Structure 1
Amino acid sequence: MILRNINKSEIESVIKATTPEKSSFKDILESWINEGITKLEWCFVVEDDENILGRLIYGVFDNSLKMLDIWMQNFNDETKEKLLSESLKIMKLKGFNNVECHLYSDKNNFQQYVKALASVDFKITQEKKSFVWEDGVISSLPGDLCFRSLEQVGDQEFINAIEKVTEGTLDEDDLAWVKEFGSKEAAIKYFNLLKDIDYKEDWWKLAYNEEQELLGLVVPQRLTESIGGINYIGVIPEKRGQGYINHLVIECLKTFKDNNIKKVIADIDVKNYPLDAVLQKQGFKLDCTMLVLKLDL
């Protein structure tokens, strides 16, 4: 049994051998490579007599190492040791200090993947709910809000808005960033992370009332050709509880619909009860839960 990198010429055959029901993953992986999110030297397979038993793909957003994809044919100690332990040692030698993984409960063998990661000392740092909206009716609400794009307001005003909406957040991961880096630096890091995922200046919006007071922000992002994600959304503390979050969700859905995206994903902290209620009110359905796991290398 050996661990090795994936060669460019075999991307299609590796995908077919490991997830034949997900042929679109070939296009996703190639887009990650083309955009610099991952490299072939960060893509690993475990082989035994030329049979592929596992696949693991790492990638980087804002200089932070993520485990983008993991698959194992079985979960015995030898396979886990080769795929997880040995690849993590290699990534550590490449200069990475920590790695993060998002596991969705609708993934086959979800609990076994959780146990496999725990066996190499990954810790669960957050639990989220994953909601999905699929080409539904978009509500209309009374009240005139003014939306200005990132293109109109500039980077600094948007970063300032991120810092404001993060104050008192119910998202455990955001709280951890603020605690580690401080509110201003955390906002800058989050802004750069979002830019790495998908950067469309005319999609990112700040919301203002008639008095031109800032209310909140929303960042819709394209994840694939047909799927979008609400990757950041929030209302500033002094304007919370007044229904403005509904306007932000609706504006986001309009952006997606105008750009032919018919499926929208929103992952939120399980403790974010207000946003949970709003998403359901605006036609989102609970799809699954998601765990955030992290490892200090």
Structure 2
Amino acid sequence: MSAVTIRRINAGETELFTRFPHAPHPEVGREAKQDYLETLAEGRTRPEWTWVALRDGETIARAAFWGRPGTEHPITLDWFELGDATTEIGAALARAAYAETTNADGGRPEFQLVLPPGWRERPDVRAEAQARIDAVEAAGLSAFVERWGYTWEPADGLPERGDRLVFAEAGDEELLDAITASLPGTFDAHDSAAVAGDGIEAAARSSWEFLTSLAGREHWRLAKNADGDVVGAIFPTTFSAERGSIGYIAVLPGHRGKGFVNELLAEMIHGHAERGAKRITGNTDQANFPMAKAFNRAGFRTTSAQIDFR
């Protein structure tokens, strides 16, 4: 059998990536949910972030990283498809790509494997997922956290708005302060790791920079109780005129356990709906039980699972 060549593509070689002969799995990964050429045109992937495994000039496996337009480093590995390639070839592809690619902090961009709920109980889906898991683990990555993805649509019904909070526009400093103040005791694995590694201020700044790279800043609000105390803040983000997202919810430690997360989430849903959203998505760690329960109470449906590898 001919030797396999693994390399990044050059400008003008996008067909090496797009002529991959296997159709994307409809439920495993992000490949079926986004178009590579459109993502390339938007600047969210680039030839230098795109890798292929070739045998006799034909693409037998492929990988591509995703990032924000205009930035130097990618954030995640979004495409990782093996087709009929072996675990060894998949591992070699991942190993080569990660050896030449870092995130803004100098570490590995996460590989986020999106899956359907209950995927472990479905042999066909589990086999496809396991092939990718085996390859990235053989390349040195390990599972960091598992998450749930949620979807709300108008047919799911609007949750009742609470009456204990007043939502108001706020400046950048106030909103960043709310994120910073909400980080102690967070249930979010990414936030916890950022705090442990870089400190609260840097972790808050990292979340802020990510959120401000998305659309929707004009809809962010500070939430105060009747006494004027800051309880938290909401950070809705927008993908399109008809699709919104639950970008970030901050609840200050002294106000946790009192149901305020339900009011904060309901306010975000109502705001998106009033602006014409036909679909709202959100996610949380599977171990973040308070947030998972809040999504369920608000009428969201669990529509995906996700494993983040580092």
Q: TM-score, normalised by structure 2?
A: 0.80
Provide, for residues 87-111 of structure 1, a one-character-per-residue CA deviation record: whole Å limited to 9, x for no partner.
222226x994322111123285112
Provide, for residues 26-77 of structure 1, a one-character-per-residue CA deviation record: whole Å limited to 9, x for no partner.
2x7534653x443221122333344332221113368564212222212404
**Counterpart of 2:178 in 1: which secondary structure?**
helix
- Cα distance in 1 for residues equivalent to 2:19 and 2:233: 38
- 2:122 alignment counterpart: none
TM-aligned CA deviation for residue 117 of structure 1: 0.9
Provide, for residues 267-288 of structure 1, a one-character-per-residue CA deviation record: whole Å limited to 9, x for no partner.
2112211111111111112223
**Counterpart of 2:257 in 1: which secondary structure?**
coil
Provide, for residues 239-265 of structure 1, a one-character-per-residue CA deviation record: whole Å limited to 9, x for no partner.
122221111111211232234332222
- 2:216 alignment counterpart: 200
AA partner of residue 141 (structure 1): R
**Counterpart of 1:277 in 2: which secondary structure?**
helix
Aligned partner (choices 99, 102, 106) of residue 109 of structure 2: 99
- 1:45 alignment counterpart: 52
Question: Any conservation in 2 of the 1:46–1:52 contact (CA below 8 Å)?
Answer: yes
Question: Any conservation in 1 of the 2:220–2:234 contact (CA below 8 Å)?
Answer: yes
**Number of residue equivalences:** 287
Asked if residue 248 in structure 1 is aligned to residue 267 in structure 2, the reply is no
- Cα distance in 1 for residues equivalent to 2:93 and 2:45: 17
Deviates more, 1:218-227 or 1:36-45: 218-227
Asked if residue 139 in structure 1 is aligned to residue 159 in structure 2, the reply is yes
Q: Let me know the Cα RMSD of the aligned residues.
A: 3.0
Structure 1 residues 1-297: aligned runs within 5 Å: 1-2=4-5, 3-5=7-9, 7=11, 10=14, 14=18, 17-19=21-23, 25-26=34-35, 30-31=38-39, 33-34=41-42, 36-60=43-67, 65-91=75-101, 96-106=106-116, 108=125, 109-135=128-154, 136-149=156-169, 153-196=170-213, 198-223=214-239, 226-294=242-310
- Cα distance in 1 for residues equivalent to 2:182 and 2:105: 33
Question: Any conservation in 2 of the 1:75–1:112 contact (CA below 8 Å)?
Answer: no
AA partner of residue 293 (structure 1): F
**Counterpart of 2:139 in 1: which secondary structure?**
coil
Question: Any conservation in 2 of the 1:65–1:96 contact (CA below 8 Å)?
Answer: no
AA partner of residue 225 (structure 2): N
Q: Identity rate of aligned residues, in percent?
A: 21
- Cα distance in 1 for residues equivalent to 2:40 and 2:271: 24
TM-aligned CA deviation for residue 171 of structure 1: 1.2
Question: Any conservation in 2 of the 1:6–1:45 contact (CA below 8 Å)?
Answer: no
- Cα distance in 2 for residues equivalent to 1:177 and 1:147: 28
Question: Any conservation in 1 of the 2:168–2:221 contact (CA below 8 Å)?
Answer: yes
- Cα distance in 1 for residues equivalent to 2:264 and 2:47: 38
Q: 1:24 to 1:279 in 2, by over 3 A?
A: closer
Q: 1:64 to 1:210 in 2, by over 3 A?
A: farther
- Cα distance in 1 for residues equivalent to 2:270 and 2:224: 17
Q: 1:172 to 1:178 in 2, by over 3 A?
A: same
Provide, for residues 188-208 of structure 1, a one-character-per-residue CA deviation record: whole Å limited to 9, x for no partner.
111112223x13221222212
**Counterpart of 1:167 in 2: which secondary structure?**
coil
Which structure has more RCO (C-alpha within 8 Å, separation ≥ 6)? 1
Q: TM-score, normalised by structure 1?
A: 0.83
Deviates more, 1:154-163 or 1:13-22: 13-22
Question: Any conservation in 2 of the 1:18–1:54 contact (CA below 8 Å)?
Answer: no
- Cα distance in 1 for residues equivalent to 2:216 and 2:224: 20
Unaligned runs of 5+ in 2: 120-124
Unaligned runs of 5+ in 1: none
Which has a greater percent of strand? 1
